[in-house]
Amino acid sequence: MFPGWWGGWTDKQNNYFIPEFNKMMAEKGIKLEYVEYPAPDATYKEKMVLDLAAGEAPDLLFIDLPWVGELVDAEYLADLTPKVNQWNEWDQWSPAVKGAVTFMGKVWALQEDTDTRPIIYRKDVFAKAGIPVLWQPKSWDDLLEAARTIKEKVPGVAPFTTHFGTTCVECTTMNGFYPFLIG
């Protein structure tokens, strides 16, 4: 069994991927069953942790990357390092993605997907600050340097902003703090 809470994937999982997987694994006696857990994240996590503590959780779980460490500390996740070391495709994963699922030197999860964070900037403000308009930062230091230059040379303009605040909930962490902490 494995739970999910993102409704957009459910039809595809239930109507195609799960039946196909079950056909492929029938000879091995492995059968996948989808169990829907509640949304949003906090409710999902609460049910998941209670089920894990009771020994009633599914064998596969969707987890959020920030949960890996605490689930490892609670001894709820299996060390996948030996499996990924035998898996040829593991070499194709980027170091950043591998790092996101690694805790204390071991691999505890496989990242199902990821997303990107675009950097949007005003060309007119960059021009006033004397920063090249075709700006392509290579690091967070480059972004912070541009923000400092804008603050110094273009009064009355917020040099940098990101998602912060109580209404943003998890995105404050994902979109606001993680990019700076992780790089």
Give residue 59's pLDDT.
Answer: 87
- Give the residue, 111 or 14, on which the prediction is more confident: 111
Instruction: Please spell the DSSP secondary structure of 92-125, one letter per residue.
Output: GS-HHHHHHTEETTEE---------------HHH
pTM of the model: 0.64
Tell me how far apart the alpha carbons of residues 13 and 11 are, in angstroms, rounded to a whole number: 5
Tell me how far apart the alpha carbons of residues 109 and 103 are, in angstroms, rounded to a whole number: 10
Question: By the 8 A CB rule, do 133 and 123 touch?
Answer: yes
- Give the residue, 43 or 181, on which the prediction is more confident: 43
pLDDT digits (tens, 9 = 90+) for 78-123: 999 999 999 999 999 989 889 989 999 999 999 877 767 778 899 9
Computed over every residue of the chain, the mean pLDDT equals: 84
Domain ranges of the chain: 1-62, 65-113, 123-182
Q: What average pLDDT does range 7-34 have in this prediction?
A: 83
HSE-CB for 156 with a 13 A CA cutoff: 1
pLDDT digits (tens, 9 = 90+) for 23-58: 999 999 999 888 777 776 678 889 999 999 999 988
Give residue 1's pLDDT.
Answer: 44
Confidence label for 128 from pLDDT (cuts 50, 70 and 90): very high
Question: By the 8 A CB rule, do 101 and 109 touch?
Answer: yes
